[in-house]
Amino acid sequence: MKDLKRGTPAFGILLGSVLVAAGALIMWIGFWRTLILVLLFAVGYFLGAVQDKAGFVKGAVDRVVPEKKEQTIDFRKEVEKEQDSFRAQPPQETSEAAADGDEEE
């Protein structure tokens, strides 16, 4: 078991064998049935190999869903920031206004 580390020939042979078996199952019984077998194997492995199931699930959920940080929003500052950004933009002519200006000349 010491030799079964990533990057070793033994790991490559094992992974290749697993992928050949998966390919044979897909050709033999179909994709969806093979997927069900893989999911059932994963559930069985989880139930048999993981001792602290609640801790494992909590850790997995914490990795996927980050903690929510409560933020207080200062509405007055946000409005001022929006007004400042609006004032900083130069006025833009619309295409209708530009067309009207061309007609007058």
Find the mean pLDDT for residues 9-19.
89
Is residue 9 scored above 60 in pLDDT? yes
CA pair distance 75, 43, nearest whole angstrom: 49
Is residue 31 scored above 90 in pLDDT? yes
Q: How many CB atoms lie within 10 A of CB 33?
A: 12
Higher-scoring residue by pLDDT: 1, 12: 12
Q: What is the pLDDT of residue 102?
A: 56
Find the mean pLDDT for residues 56-80.
86
CA pair distance 99, 95, nearest whole angstrom: 6
Cβ proximity of 87 and 80 under 8 Å: no
Q: Has this prediction a pTM greater than 0.75?
A: no
